[in-house]
């Protein structure tokens, strides 16, 4: 069994080694903290970039508009279609209240269905 005297003797005999190990651990912890801070700062800068936020909001608006279009074209009930349309309009209105350059204010592009070749000839 190891006694307190054994531990004291081991520490006394190896004091220099113990100090070097503790200094190395402290240095490793400081490097890890600095690296973690750099990663956080980089992520924070990316997420708070107004240009990125503009693109994400635009993508979100387009995604909601696409879902609404899918629902309007589907065999869902009129009540579901009204709900989807109302949600899309409310979302666009909220986005435009918060942003003067709201992409939802832009005119929608009308896509015309292609005419089959046989009908065009």
Kindly state whether residues 61 and 30 are assigned to the same domain.
no
**Domain limits at 56?**
50-91
4 shares its domain with 39:
yes
Q: Are 63 and 86 contained in the same domain?
A: yes
Residue-wise pLDDT tens digits, 69-102: 888 888 888 898 888 888 888 888 877 777 777 7
Domain contains 76 = yes
- How many whole angstroms separate alpha carbon 78 and alpha carbon 86? 12
Q: What is the pLDDT of residue 58?
A: 81
Q: Are residues 18 and 55 in the same domain?
A: no
Give the model confidence (pLDDT) of 15-49 as tens digits.
Answer: 998 888 888 888 888 889 999 999 999 999 988 88
Main-chain dihedrals φ then ψ at residue 67, nearest 5 degrees: -60, -40
Domain count, the chain: 2
The H-assigned helical ranges of 4-49 are 4-13, 15-47
Same domain? For 59 and 38 the reply is no
Which pLDDT score is estimated for 121? 59
Task: Tell me, yes or no, whether 37 and 18 share the same domain.
Answer: yes
pLDDT of residue 96: 77
Q: Is residue 105 in some structural domain?
A: no
**pLDDT (0 to 100) of residue 42:** 93
What is this structure's pTM?
0.46
Any domain includes 115: no
Beta-carbon count within 10 A of 14 CB: 12
Same domain for 66 and 41? no
Report the chain's C-alpha Rg in angstroms. 32
Q: Which of 71, 69, 72 is nearest to 61 (CA)?
A: 69
Q: Is residue 121 part of a domain?
A: no
Residue tagged 């801070």 (tokens) = 37
Q: Are residues 22 and 54 located together in one domain of the fold?
A: no
Distance CA 66, CA 84 (A): 11
Instruction: Identify whether residues 40 and 69 lie together within a single domain.
Output: no
Query: What gap in Å lies between CA 78 and CA 63, rounded to an integer?
Result: 21
Predicted confidence at residue 120, as pLDDT, reads: 57
Structural domain includes residue 16: yes
């Amino acid at each position: 069994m190891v006694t307190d005297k054994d531990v004291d003797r081991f520490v006394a005999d190896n004091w220099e080694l113990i100090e070097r190990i503790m200094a190395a651990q402290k240095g490793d912890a400081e490097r890890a903290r600095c690296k973690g801070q750099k990663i956080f700062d980089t992520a924070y800068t990316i997420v708070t970039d107004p240009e990125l936020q503009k693109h994400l909001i635009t993508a979100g608006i387009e995604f909601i508009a696409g879902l609404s279009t899918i629902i309007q074209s589907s065999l869902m009930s009129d009540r579901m279609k009204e709900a989807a349309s109302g949600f899309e309009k409310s979302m666009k209105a909220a986005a435009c209240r918060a942003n003067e350059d709201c992409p939802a204010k832009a005119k929608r592009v009308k896509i015309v269905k292609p005419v089959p070749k046989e009908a065009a000839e």
